[in-house]
Structure 1
C-alpha cells in the first residue's frame, strides 16, 4: 500500500521529470544512457502487468507489429528454469524450443537479430552476480544458469544480442545495474485508467459511477486500484456488494469493504460460496484453508512466492481439490511444475487467516515477533491482515464458511499491537506503520487506548504520502483532541492535506510547512 501511495506521487512527477516510454520505443535510443540499449529491465510491483506486457510484446512481434529487426525472440520464465543447474545456452534454448535443433547454429550466427526475454527475475533461485568475471563466451559452454544470463547481459556471450528482463523492484535493490542501459517501470493505472476499468467491469453506467465514487472516497482502496490485478479484485468485490443490496442503501453501506482486510475477506468468502460442493462443510473448508495458510505463511516468512510438489506434500495441499485453482496458479510441465498463489496479497491474507482458524498461542507469537524483525518489509501486509482480522465484524464475513474464528488469536494480536506501539513512541516511521495496523483493526477503543498518552503528535521530517495522511487522520479523529500536531518538513502534497482535513478540527496547535 505504501508503494501505491508513492505511485500516486510518482505519476505527478512523471508529467515533468520522468520519461514516458511506450512498448515500441523500449529498444530505441536512450537519451539518458546515450545509446541504443541492448539490455532493458522492466520493473514493477506484483500484479502490475509485467508478464502481460511481455506476452503482448511477443504477440505484437509475432504479428509483425513490433520490432521486426528481431528475427527470433526467445521468451523464458525464470521460475521454469529453477530446476536447471549447469547448462549451455544452446541446451537452454533447445530445452524450451526443441524444434529449432537443426537450425540453431545458423540462428546464433547473427546475435543482432536475437532477443532473449527473461520474465520474473525475483522468482529465480539462481545467483546472478553482475559483477562477476567468471563468464562464458561460447554458446556450447556448460555454466551455471545464472552465469549464462549474466554473460548475455554483459555481452560476453552473443555480443550484439538484446535482452529484456522483468523483475520486482525489491530484487533490483541488491543488483549491480551498471551494465543495464535502460531501466523502466510499469506505473499501473492512472486515474483515468481506473475510471475506464470500472466502466468496463460494470456494464451498468450508474453502478460503475457509484462503485468508483465509493472507492475514491476510500483512499486505501483507491490507492490499491493502481495495480490492475487489485483493481479487478476491488471491482469483483464491489460488484458482489452492489448487486446483493441494489435497493437497501443502509445494508449496502454496511456490506461494502472499509479496509483492505475486509476486501480480501469478502473475496475469499465469495470463492468459498461459489465453489463449495455442499453447504456448511466446515471441517473440509477449515482443513483446506489451514493447509493453504501454513504454506502461505512459510512463503511470507522465507520470501518465497514459488512452490513445488514438495511444498504441497509438506503442507498437505491437494492440487486435485476443486478449490485449488481458485487460490493457486500452476505453471510448467511435469515433472517441473511450480505453483504460485493468484497474487502475493492473497498469499499474505491466507497466511494471517490461518492463525484464526488454527490458533496456537506459541506459533502466533513466534510469527508476530519474526514478522516484526524483517527490515525489508516482506511481512508488513501479513501483520496488517492479522490486525484486520482481530476485528469481529471483519471475521464475521468468513464465519458462514468457517463456523468459528479464534477470539483468543484476536486478543493475542491486540496485546502484541499495544506493546509494539508503546515501544515505538520515538520511532515515528515505525509508529506510522503501527497506525496502519490500527486502521485495519477498526478498533477505535484500542486506538484510543494505544495513543491516549500521546499529547503531541510530532511527525516533523517524516515524509507523509496521501495514504499516510488518511491513516493519521483516522488516528487523530479517534483520539478526539490533540494538543499539537507537528507536520513540519513532511513534504505533504495537496492530496495528503485533503485527506487530513476531517481531523483538523481536533488539533489545538498545528505546525506545518509544505516543504
Structure 2
C-alpha cells in the first residue's frame, strides 16, 4: 500500500495532463447494463453526447464500483468501463487505487493489482501462471511468500483493453482453473475474465468503446461509462485555470462561439490543450485574435511546444525562431510515426513500431523528453517503456501535417496506398494540392465509421494561408493560391449535393468551417431568422446545411415539430437525424412514419416521446412501431394519441407492454372507439410482470365491461400504474363503482386519478 501511495502521488505531482480535476470525471451506469459497441470515430460519439444534456443514467462513485445497487441480487464480479480517449478512465482507476492505499476507501480489500494492457503486451511470447504473473509485476507478494490468493479479497484492474495486442479468443481457449499452472498470458486473462481462475476476485476492465465487444456479455456483471465534462463543468475548469474573471469570461465566450471547440472541450485533455494555447496567445498578444478552428488551435499548440523546447532545452530566447533544424527533424519523424501508425490503428508504440518508422528507442526518448506535452514515454510501473502521443487528436493532427508537408515538398500523395506509376505520371502531370484534397475527401467519405473525419478537417485546414503563416519555419513553402482553396470548397459543396449520411454531411460542414467558408450555413440561418425558409425549394446541400444548423444549435432539441418545416415525406426523411437527436416528435406525416419508426430502434436515437395525434396508423404501421419499441436500444417511454387501434393492433401493442426490453412508461389511448375485446388484449399486457407503464391516458368511450377489465388491471399484483387519466371518458355511476373496486384493493399502485 505504501508503494502504491508513493507511486500515484508521484504521478499526480508530475502534472500529467490527463490528471485533470478528478472531481469532474463522472462514472455513469449505462442504461440496460450492456456494452453498446460503436465503431464510429470518437469525435462523432462526442458530438452525439454533446446533443444529449439530459443524462438519465445512475451516477456512481469510483469507490463504490463493485457495490451492488438497490434491487440487484447477484454480486458484481467484473465491471467494464467505456470512454473515449482522454476522457479519464486511467485517472479513475488510479484514484481508486490511491484512495485504497491511503486507507480512505475499500478497506475490506486486501490486494489491488493494477495492470495495463500496454505492459501485458510485452509478455505476448512468454508463459506465466496467475501467481507467477502477480509475482512478476508485484515482487513484494513473492518476497512475502504469498502463493495463493483464494483466501483474500482481491481486485484486478486491467486498463486499456483497446490497446491490447494479445489474441483474446474467448471461443477457442483451453479451460484453466489452477492459478499455479503456467500458460500464455492471453489464455490466463481469458480464464480470469471468464471466472474459471480465481472466481472470488473482482475485475475492473477499461476500454475505448470500439473495443468493448472483445469481452463476451456473459462475462460482464455491469457496464459503466466515463462521461466527459458537461457544459457547466467546462466553465468551471476554465474559471479554475484562469483566475482573472474577465480573462476567463472572454475565453469561455470565445469557446462557445465555435461549435467545434465547444464540442471537443467535452474531453478533459482538450480543455487542457485549449487552456495552454489561449494562455500563450493572451500573454503574447494583448488584443490578438483567438484561434477559432480546430486546426488553428492545434497549430498554436505545436508552436507553443516548439517555443518551450527552444527556451527550456536549447537555451534560446522567446524572440528566437521556434523551429531549429533539429526540431524540424524531430517533428518530421513524429509526423511519419503518427501517420503510419494511425493507418494501422495503433495508438501506442513499441520498439518494433518505432523501427518501422526509422526511429530508434534512444531518439524516441529524446523526443519525449523535449516535446513532453506532445509525445510521451511510459515505462509503466514495472515494465519496459512504450510511447504514445498525449491524445488521439494530436496523433491525427501530426499525421495530417505529415501528409501535407510530404505533398508540398515532393508532390507525393501518401493517401494513395500504391503509386507504382507515380513518377511516370509526374512527368506529364504536376500534382496539385487540390488533387490531394479531393482524394482525402473521397477516402474519408468511403470510411463507414468516420475514422478519417478529424484527420480530414486538419488536412484541409492546413491549406489556409493564415495557418501556414503560423507554421512558418516548419514549412519550407507557404502561400497557396486562392484558386486552389476555392476549388476545394467547391468540390466539398458538390459532395454535399449527393445524398450522404447525416454524419458524413456534418463532417463536411466542419471541413468548410476549417476552410473559413460558412456561406451555405449563413444562407440557411438568414432564411430561418427572417422566417422565409421554403423547404420546397431547398437543394440537397441546403437540406444538409439545415440539419447541420439544427444539430449544432446550443438549444436543447427538446421537441421536433415537422410542421415548422414541411409536412412532406421528403422533409421527414431529410430531417430524420434531427428527430433521432430530439426528445419528442410530433406532427409527422403518415407516409414517413415507417422511416421514422426504424429510427426509434436505432442505438443512437434519443427519442423519448412520440405524438401520433395526426396519424391514422394502419395495422402494418402499428406492428412496425411495436417491433421498433421492443428493440433493446429503444428509449421511447411516452406514446401519445395512438388512434384507430384494431384488435390486431391491440395485440401487437400488448406484446410491447409485456416485453422485458420495452422502455414504455406512458401510453395515451385518446381514441373514439375501442372494442372491449381490444381492451382486454391491451390490458393483458398491462398486467404482465415485465410491464413498467406508470401512466395511462384514455379519452375513449369506455363501457361498463371496459371498466370491469380496467378494474382487474388496477387490482393486479403485477400492475405498475401510478397515474390514470380518464378526463375525457364518459364515466357513469356503474363505471365509477367498477373502477372503485379496483382502486381500493391493497395491490393497486395508482397514486393519481
Match of 2:222 in 1: 182
Query: After superposition, what is the alpha-carbon deviation per residue over 1:105-128, rounded to whole angstroms, capped at 9, x for unaligned?
Result: 4551325x0000011111110122
Match of 1:268 in 2: 302
Q: Structure 1 residues 423, 244: closer, same or farther in 2, change over 3 A? A: closer
Answer yes or no: is 1:79 the counterpart of 2:118: yes
Q: Work out which of the residue numbers 163, 186, 194 in structure 2 matches 1:154.
A: 194
Match of 2:13 in 1: none
2:161–2:206 Cα contact (<8 Å) kept: yes
Q: Secondary structure at the match of 2:92?
A: helix
Query: After superposition, what is the alpha-carbon deviation per residue over 1:241-293, rounded to whole angstroms, capped at 9, x for unaligned?
Result: 222333x3xxx3xx311111111111101111221235445533332221111
Structure 1 window deviating more from structure 2 (289-298 vs 309-318): it is 309-318
Q: Structure 1 residues 110, 10: closer, same or farther in 2, change over 3 A? A: farther
CA distance in 2 between counterparts of 1:400 and 1:417 reads 30
User: Structure 1-normalised TM-score?
Assistant: 0.81
Q: Secondary structure at the match of 1:20?
A: strand
Query: After superposition, what is the alpha-carbon deviation per residue over 1:297-351, rounded to whole angstroms, capped at 9, x for unaligned?
Result: 1111111001122333333442224534342111127983210011111110000
Match of 1:7 in 2: 49
- What is the correspondence of 1:266-415 to structure 2 with a 5 Å cutoff? 266-276=300-310, 277=314, 279-280=320-321, 281-317=323-359, 318-319=363-364, 320-321=366-367, 323-332=370-379, 336-359=384-407, 360-366=410-416, 368=440, 372-405=445-478, 407=480, 411=484, 415=488
CA distance in 2 between counterparts of 1:32 and 1:398 reads 59
Match of 1:239 in 2: 279
Match of 1:202 in 2: 242
1:5–1:465 Cα contact (<8 Å) kept: no
Answer yes or no: is 1:61 the counterpart of 2:100: yes
Deviation at 1:145, TM superposition (A): 1.7
CA distance in 2 between counterparts of 1:89 and 1:405 reads 58
Q: Work out which of the residue numbers 251, 255, 264 in structure 2 matches 1:215.
A: 255
Match of 1:129 in 2: 169
Q: Structure 1 residues 424, 126: closer, same or farther in 2, change over 3 A? A: farther
Q: Structure 1 residues 469, 205: closer, same or farther in 2, change over 3 A? A: closer
Structure 1 window deviating more from structure 2 (486-495 vs 172-181): it is 486-495
Q: Work out which of the residue numbers 499, 507, 512 in structure 2 matches 1:426.
A: 499
Match of 1:97 in 2: 138
Match of 2:33 in 1: none
Q: Structure 1 residues 313, 34: closer, same or farther in 2, change over 3 A? A: same
CA distance in 2 between counterparts of 1:103 and 1:410 reads 73
- What is the correspondence of 1:461-472 to structure 2 with a 5 Å cutoff? 468=552
Deviation at 1:374, TM superposition (A): 3.4
- What is the correspondence of 1:22-33 to structure 2 with a 5 Å cutoff? 22-30=61-69
Structure 1 window deviating more from structure 2 (393-402 vs 150-159): it is 393-402
Give the alignment's Cα RMSD to 1 decimal: 3.4
Q: Work out which of the residue numbers 84, 105, 109 in structure 1 matches 2:150.
A: 109
CA distance in 2 between counterparts of 1:296 and 1:262 reads 19
- What is the correspondence of 1:456-495 to structure 2 with a 5 Å cutoff? 456-457=540-541, 468=552, 488-489=575-576, 490-491=578-579
CA distance in 1 between counterparts of 2:260 and 2:205 reads 31
CA distance in 1 between counterparts of 2:539 and 2:202 reads 59
CA distance in 2 between counterparts of 1:420 and 1:457 reads 7
2:229–2:267 Cα contact (<8 Å) kept: yes
CA distance in 2 between counterparts of 1:301 and 1:336 reads 25
Q: Work out which of the residue numbers 278, 285, 290 in structure 2 matches 1:256.
A: 290
User: Structure 2-normalised TM-score?
Assistant: 0.57
Query: After superposition, what is the alpha-carbon deviation per residue over 1:44-65, rounded to whole angstroms, capped at 9, x for unaligned?
Result: 1111111111110000011111
CA distance in 1 between counterparts of 2:490 and 2:358 reads 31
1:349–1:385 Cα contact (<8 Å) kept: yes
Deviation at 1:414, TM superposition (A): 6.0
Q: Structure 1 residues 348, 405: closer, same or farther in 2, change over 3 A? A: farther
CA distance in 2 between counterparts of 1:445 and 1:285 reads 39
Q: Structure 1 residues 466, 273: closer, same or farther in 2, change over 3 A? A: farther
- Any stretches of 5+ residues in structure 1 without a counterpart? 471-483, 496-512
CA distance in 1 between counterparts of 2:334 and 2:455 reads 14
- Higher CA-based Rg: 2
- What is the correspondence of 1:445-456 to structure 2 with a 5 Å cutoff? 455-456=539-540
CA distance in 2 between counterparts of 1:184 and 1:492 reads 23
Structure 1 window deviating more from structure 2 (313-322 vs 388-397): it is 313-322
Q: Secondary structure at the match of 1:296?
A: helix
CA distance in 2 between counterparts of 1:18 and 1:377 reads 27
